[in-house]
Structure 1
Amino acid sequence: MKPLYLLLVVLLSLGSALQAAPRRDFATQYRAERRIIIDTRREGDSVRLYLRFPNTTLIRRGFPLHVALWADYDAKRALWQDTVRRFSRRLQPDGEGARIDFCLPLPRLRAGQVLSLAAGPADEAASGEAGWLRLTPEHLTRSFILTDSVGQPLLRHYVRAGEPFMVDSYGEDLNVQAYRYPLSSLPAAPPMTSPGAMPAQPRKLSAQDSARYRAGSLLRLQPGMYLLRVNPAEPRSGILVEENTFPALTSADELIAPLVYLTTSVERKKLFDAPEPKKAVDQFWLTVAGNNQTIAKQLIRTYYGRVQEANQFFSAHKAGWLTDRGLLYLVLGPPESVYREAGEERWVYRADQGMGGTFVFRAKPSTFAPDNYELVRRPEHEQLWYAAVEQWRKGRTARPGR
């Protein structure tokens, strides 16, 4: 009996240890001041990684840059781990942050696997606060990267209309084939909308026009969705071209449009038709704030700050605030916890006033948006949604992080 008893104790202890192991929380990926931005370019039998740290507090002095490869976001053990040599010497200043680029051998990487990177102790590369990137076929085959007019990597897949940028291809200068498609202005439906009530999506988009450019030359594009390719053997890469102030919003129409999540169609028409729409928008927020100018200004900063951040995080086939994740980000704020597993992303809110809840997003990649996720809409989200909208309409959501 004694060996059996000891075995039972060991198994119970092991089970407790496994249950006690914390889940990897990716909420930091939706905090602009903490998010490490990553992009890639294929270079022969290597993949070059470009990283930008938003501020130098994410770079722990004296530690190397740790790189780990995982089978998936929820994997417990890395497939391999490595460090980047001479990390501190290779860092280059970039505003308040810093950037670096380095190469990994292509045979060590597979589409579907996930990279994590952190400049600190080795265990930080296993935490949700590291920089994380799911490797798509595009990441492993695209032989170019977008840069600004002086050759610095943009590390984003959107540009402003008329903004000068370049397509920096690896190897010989090649022609860039660009196909332009119409922009989408369709906002995400509320989280309790039934599938039958969802607006119909076009099954196929037709290119409005196409053009050929020389890689390495300065480009300026008009608004639209574009697919770019420099090599027929590579998949096309999407790029969003928006108005000149993007990802911020400044014109009256731009400021009114995101209010779709908080207002009725009658209210928005009244704002659009006002003799001075910008003043009408200010008056809308002042009324919401009970004529308290301090609260009104904070409401404006919070809401449109979220619009700008959603555009930075989620823009792909359309502006980020129009997407499913952008919808929740604007109204509920950054998720308190984010869990990722097997093509799903779960956003958890544990807010006070009975407004906590969990929202599930499922991966739905496309040519334009390889990192796109769609919300699983459920009737039980209705109460939380209307409670959150009411907080805005009563001027109570007047502080950052709410």
Structure 2
Amino acid sequence: MLLLWAASSFRLHAQLPALQLKGQVIYTAGIEGKPEAYLWIRIAGDTLGQERLTAMKGRYQLIQAASVIHEVAVEDFKLNELFAGYRDDGLVVKWQLPVFETPATLFVAIKDEKTGLQTAVTVPVQYGRLRFRDLAFVADAKGLPLMREFVRVGEPFQIKGTNDILWVRYFKHHFTQAAPPMDLKGEKASPTLQADSTFQIRGDVSLSWQQEGLYLIQKDTTDIYGGIGLRVEAQPFPQVARRKEEAIAPLVYISTSKEMESLQASEELKPALDRYWLKLFNGDTKKAAQVIRLYYRQLKEVNMMFTTYKEGWKTDRGMIYLIFGPPQQISAGQDIEQWVYTNKNSFSKITFTFKRQVNAFTDRHYTLVRYLEYEPIWYTAIEQWRYGYVLKELQ
């Protein structure tokens, strides 16, 4: 495992704003060209200008198994010279990577000297045999990589890197949420997905889709792991819509089964949610409002950061981030991430390990390595939400 930067102070529930990264590697010049690494940098709740990059330090490493293939020292990673544009309240930088013959993992760590915030991200790099999803990418209307695996209904986008006729399969399937970290059964296997419809598009033209759901874009339908998965979500995603299903379902992690049944059976959304939160906090409207604000704010962040073929809050990383907050320490190896949380009162560490699981829709889906020993940790964290103790951690 490689470790870049450990924070100097820790909280069980790390306070937002948090420094956030998303990465993508694209062979924009084709098979013979060097891959380009794109990094989306955002501080949740803050607006970044290009000049802010001068206060940010970075380091990247290309790792293959346990060996370091290439490393750029932190002082040589000049983010302000790599600016590529703006996306989703964040900045995008790009640089070229060296070429190698076999797959690797790009590990990037960033520290903002102005705020002290820091984090890291891992990005798979498909050296060797390139697939459609390595050569083509989803871009915004200006041609900049979208850096997320969803678009909103009616949002214009393009498939850059090809002008060929492409196949698109559409799925209405609703995926289940993540299982608790002590549930050894882990992620429930979805039934074999059957496309609800199929149609064709051309690459490098403006697109805009109106039907919510999951889409798989392929050049060759026999290339099982070469397609590009893209979700289409209703506004205001990644915020939660004011529709019953979207507003209630993410409460499953901190609710009892009876509470969920009552919420789902309710005819009117707002009164049901008001009763739910006020009952948790014995009528304390101020505390209820603060916890609601924090929970749904973190829900927005996990949807932005971790949505792949299913919504971010339903993924393993999204579940852990939602309940425990941003990790204070991230380490990575080939196809693996470890998140570390430290309780500032007891100095005990909680480590969650995620393994990358490539599927037909994405290279960026990670599943949690589950242990029975997580049970007391999980229920303690849930109690902190249900009793409002999480607010004390943020003071």
TM-score range relative to shorter protein: 0.7 to 0.9
Cα distance change, pair 98–307 in 1 and its aligned pair in 2 (3 A): closer
* 1:317 equivalent in structure 2: 309
1:35 pairs with 2:20: yes
Once the two structures are superposed, residues 158-177 of structure 1 have per-residue CA deviations (whole angstroms, 9 ceiling, x without a partner) of: 1123322221234xx22221
- Aligned AA (2:211): Q
Which has the larger displacement, 314-323 or 366-375?
366-375
1:181 equivalent in structure 2:
171
Alpha-carbon shift at residue 210 of structure 1 (Å): 1.1
When residues 66 and 201 of structure 1 are mapped into structure 2, their CA distance, relative to the original with a 3 A threshold, is closer
Q: 1:35: how far off? A: 2.7
Contact kept in structure 2, 1:183 and 1:318, CA below 8 Å: no
Relative contact order, higher structure (CA 8 A, sep 6+) = 2
Counterpart of 1:217 (choices 206, 210, 235) is 206
Structure 2 vs 1, CA of residues 205 and 347 (structure 1 numbering), >3 Å: closer, same or farther?
same
Corresponding residue for residue 64 of structure 2 = 71
Rate the CA distance shift 1:135–1:382 in 2: closer, same or farther, 3 A. Answer: same
1:385 corresponds in structure 2 to: 378
2:37 aligns with 49
Deviations 1:213-269 (A, max 9, x none): 122132314222221124677911111222332211022321110111111232122
d(CA) in 2 for partners of 1:139 and 1:300?
Answer: 47
Cα distance in 2 for partners of 1:384, 1:81 equals 37
Structure 1's 31 and 394: CA in aligned 2 closer, same or farther, altered over 3 A? closer
Within a 5 Å distance, the mapping from 1:102-121 to structure 2 comes to 102-104=95-97, 107-108=99-100, 110-114=102-106, 116=108
**1:53 alignment partner AA:** I
Letter in 1 for 2:39: L
> Residues 112 and 58 (structure 1 numbering): CA distance in 2 closer, same or farther, change over 3 Å?
farther
Q: Contact between 1:311 and 1:319, CA under 8 Å: does it hold in 2?
A: yes
Match of 2:272 in 1: 280
Q: Output the CA distance in 1 between the equivalents of 2:69 and 2:19.
A: 23
Task: Letter of the 1:343 partner, please give it.
Answer: D
Question: Partner amino acid for 1:336?
Answer: Q
**Which residue is equivalent to 2:45?**
none
Tell me, yes or no, if structure 1 residue 374 matches structure 2 residue 367.
yes
Contact 2:143 2:158 survives alignment (8 Å): yes
CA distance in 2, matches of 1:225, 1:138: 29
Task: Supply the RMSD in Å over aligned alpha carbons.
Answer: 3.8
After TM superposition, list the pairs within 5 Å mapping 1:15-34 onto structure 2.
23-25=3-5, 33-34=18-19
5 Å-filtered alignment, 1:76-225, equals 77-79=68-70, 81=72, 88=81, 91-92=84-85, 97-104=90-97, 107-108=99-100, 110-114=102-106, 116=108, 129=119, 132-136=122-126, 141=131, 142-170=134-162, 173-195=163-185, 200-202=188-190, 204-215=192-203, 216-225=205-214
Q: Flag structure 2 segments of 5+ consecutive residues without an equivalent.
A: 43-47
Structure 1 distance, partners of 2:333, 2:312, is: 22
Match for 1:49: what amino acid?
A: A
Query: AA paired with 1:34?
Result: L
* Paired residues of 2:25 and 2:124 also in contact (CA < 8 A): no
Percent of aligned positions that are identical: 27
Tell me the matched-pair count. 367
Q: Which residue of 1 aligns with 2:228?
A: 237
Corresponding residue number in structure 2 for 1:396: 389
Aligned to 1:16: none
Asked if the contact 1:240–1:316 (Cα under 8 Å) also holds between the matched residues in 2, the reply is yes
1:152, distance to aligned residue in structure 2 (A): 3.7
* Cα offset, 1:319, TM superposition: 0.7
Residue 60 of structure 1 is matched in structure 2 by 54
Equivalent-residue separation in structure 2 for 1:294 and 1:154 (angstroms): 38
More strand by share: 2
Query: Aligned pair 1:329/2:300, yes or no?
Result: no
- Distance across 1 between alignment mates of 2:105 and 2:334: 11
CA deviation map 1:62-117 (0-9, x unaligned): x9987653335x65x55354979996386545576433445446x34642242547
Q: Could you say what secondary structure the match of 1:245 adopts?
A: coil
Q: TM-score with structure 2 length normalisation?
A: 0.78
